[in-house]
Amino acid sequence: MSSSSSSTTHFLALATTYVVVLLLLHVPDYNAQLNSTFYSTTCPNVTSIVRSAVQQALQSDSRIGASLIRLHFHDCFVNGCDASILLDKNGTIQQSEKDAAPNTNSTRGFDVVDNIKTALENSCPGVVSCADLLALAAEASVSLSGGPSWNVLLGRRDSLTANQAGANTSIPSPLESLANITSKFSAVGLNTNDLVALSGAHTFGRAQCRTFNNRLYNFNSTGNPDPTLNSSYLTTLQQTCPQNGSATALANLDLSTPDAFDNNYFTNLQNNQGLLQSDQELFSTAGAATVSIVNSFSSNQSAFFESFARSMINMGNISPLVGTSGEIRLDCKNVNGG
The CATH code of the domain that includes 271 is 1.10.420.10
pTM for the model stands at: 0.90
- Rounded to whole angstroms, how far apart are CA atoms 299 and 39? 38
Q: Which residues of the chain, if any, have pLDDT below 70?
A: 1-32
Binding residues: 75, 78, 80, 82, 84, 97, 172, 202-203, 254, 257, 262
Is residue 221 domain-shared with residue 290, that is, in the same domain? yes
Residue 206 lies in a domain: yes
| Cβ atoms of residues 181 and 172 within 8 Å | yes
- Rounded to whole angstroms, how far apart are CA atoms 140 and 148? 9
**Tell me, what's the pLDDT at 338?**
76
Residue 24 lies in a domain: no
DSSP string, 209-224: GGGTGGGTS-GGGSSS
Residue 31 lies in a domain: no
Distances (CA, A) of 210 to 216, 223, 247: 11, 17, 5
- Rounded to whole angstroms, how far apart are CA atoms 189 and 191? 7
Amino acid at 61: D
Is residue 132 domain-shared with residue 227, that is, in the same domain? no
Burial (CB count within 10 angstroms: exposed 0-12, middle 13-18, buried 19+), residue 47: middle
Binding residues for Ca(2+): 75, 78, 80, 82, 84, 97, 203, 254, 257, 262
Instruction: Please give the tally of structural domains in the chain.
Output: 2
Binding residues for substrate: 172
Residue 327 lies in a domain: no
In terms of Cα–Cα distance, which of 264, 292, 265 is closest to 276? 265
In terms of Cα–Cα distance, which of 301, 225, 282, 212 is closest to 252? 212
**Tell me, what's the pLDDT at 33?**
86
Q: What angle, 0 to 180 degrees and rounded to 10, lies between the N-to-C axes of helices 192-199 and 178-187? A: 110
Residue 37 lies in a domain: no
Please pick, among 10, 26, 72, 74, the residue that the annotation labels catalytic: 74
110-144 pLDDT per residue, tens: 999 999 999 999 999 999 999 999 999 999 999 99
72 is catalytic: no
**Tell me, what's the pLDDT at 32?**
52
Of 169, 199, 214, the last residue of a domain is 169
Distances (CA, A) of 131 to 144, 302, 327: 20, 28, 10
Is residue 57 domain-shared with residue 155, that is, in the same domain? yes
Residue 12 lies in a domain: no
| Cβ atoms of residues 285 and 178 within 8 Å | yes
Q: Which residues pair with 251 in a beta bridge?
A: 207
Is residue 287 domain-shared with residue 247, that is, in the same domain? yes
Residue 179 lies in a domain: no
Residue 56: domain span: 45-169
